[in-house]
Amino acid sequence: MESEEPLSLRLEPMIEEAEQNGLWFFHHSRLDGIIWFSPKEIRERLRNNKFVGEPRRWKLRMPEERIAQIYQEVVYATEELEQFKERVNRSSP
């Protein structure tokens, strides 16, 4: 059973740690996919009564991890695009 303490208070230690260490809130599941929020975005969501989820849902991670992931996805997508374009060009009369 969850604490009766308001969610904002339960998340505050994590928000403070994230702010102090340049970390972001990270969550990944099959249902939700990959979610990243800055501490500022978490505070805004709490203020606007948007769904945030319990502290146990979140891990604090360096946002540079996501930047590196996105960069790698772009590299793979660019390679796939170029390979497919080559296949199309070879197949054209």
The tens digit of pLDDT for each residue in 54-76 reads: 999 999 999 999 999 999 999 99
Examine the domain organization and report whether 72 and 32 are in the same domain. Answer: no
Which domain does 77 fall in, by range? Answer: 63-93
Task: Count H helices and E strands in the chain, helices first.
Answer: 3, 3
Dist. CA 19–CA 50, nearest whole Å: 20
pLDDT surpasses 70 at 1: no
Point out which residues pair with 25 in neighbouring strands.
37, 60
Specify the DSSP class assigned to residue 56: G
The domain total for the chain is 2
Dist. CA 59–CA 23, nearest whole Å: 9
Examine the domain organization and report whether 9 and 29 are in the same domain. Answer: yes
Taking only the tens place, the pLDDT of each residue in 7-35 is 999 999 999 999 999 999 999 989 889 99
Dist. CA 37–CA 62, nearest whole Å: 11
Examine the domain organization and report whether 90 and 57 are in the same domain. Answer: no
